[in-house]
Amino acid sequence: MAGNRTLTIIKPDAFGAGKAGKIIAHLEAGGFRVVAARVMHLSTAQAEEFYGVHRERPFFRSLVTFMTSGKCMPMILEKADAVAELRRAIGSTDPAEAAEGTVRKLYAESKERNAIHASDSDENATRESRFFFAEAGTL
Ligand code: CMP
């Protein structure tokens, strides 16, 4: 059975533009509950580790530069079937392709500066939650 928690990050584009409150309200209206949250400025090493799976991609350096360009807001969210539900709620990676009413359609600037991250599997939700919240197992 799919898990009920996932990891999201309000990225520096959206956080820096003061959109965090609206995005959280949008997600709460969609049935998500915030289980943990923090505001932080990722180091280059942290961004490289978090996005390590993309290390060989042509956009990797640009992605790391963007993710370290300002503060971001990692959160653990709870809802039944959380991973699939959050990916549906945020929309496609490229906001030009995102469905109406999704977070990226409403708040993202581009395929890279796309406002929000969401874990893509239960396994990664657990790994990514531990990355930002050492106490994740006890929440
Ligand atoms: P995210 O869901 O956080 O996962 C990887 C991130 O890499 C993605 O959101 C985008 O911010 C970025 N990304 C993915 N594909 C591209 C691309 N083709 N060009 C630039 N950035 C990308």
From the CB of 86, is ligand 1 less than 6 Å away? no
What pLDDT does residue 58 have? Answer: 98
Whose alpha carbon is nearest atom 4 of ligand 1?
117
What pLDDT does residue 99 have? Answer: 98
From the CB of 72, is ligand 1 less than 6 Å away? no
* Closest atom, ligand 1, to C-alpha of 113: 11
Whose alpha carbon is nearest atom 21 of ligand 1?
112
What pLDDT does residue 1 have? Answer: 53
Give, for all 139 residues of the chain, the pLDDT tens digit.
Answer: 589 999 999 999 999 999 999 999 999 999 999 999 999 999 999 999 999 999 999 999 999 999 999 999 999 999 999 999 999 999 999 999 999 999 999 999 999 999 999 999 999 999 999 999 988 777 7
Rounded distance, CA 61 to CA 77, Å?
Answer: 28
What pLDDT does residue 136 have? Answer: 78
- Encode pLDDT of 99-137 as tens digits: 999 999 999 999 999 999 999 999 999 999 999 998 877
* Tokens describing residue 125: 């939700």
Whose alpha carbon is nearest atom 10 of ligand 1?
112
Whose alpha carbon is nearest atom 1 of ligand 1?
117
* Tokens describing residue 110: 């581009």
Which CATH superfamily is 5-138 part of? Nucleoside diphosphate kinase-like domain (3.30.70.141)
List, in sequence order, the alpha helices (H) in 1-139.
12-16, 20-29, 44-50, 60-67, 82-90, 103-107, 122-132
Alpha carbon 19 to chain centroid distance? 14
**Domain definitions of the chain by residue range:** 5-138
* Closest atom, ligand 1, to C-alpha of 120: 2
* Closest atom, ligand 1, to C-alpha of 51: 5
Rounded distance, CA 64 to CA 47, Å?
Answer: 6
76 forms beta bridges with 7, 36
| 117 flagged as catalytic | yes
Question: CB-based contacts of 89: which residues, under 8 Å, 6+ apart?
Answer: 26, 27, 30, 32, 102, 103
From the CB of 111, is ligand 1 less than 6 Å away? yes
Question: 3 alpha carbon to ligand 1 midpoint, in Å?
Answer: 24
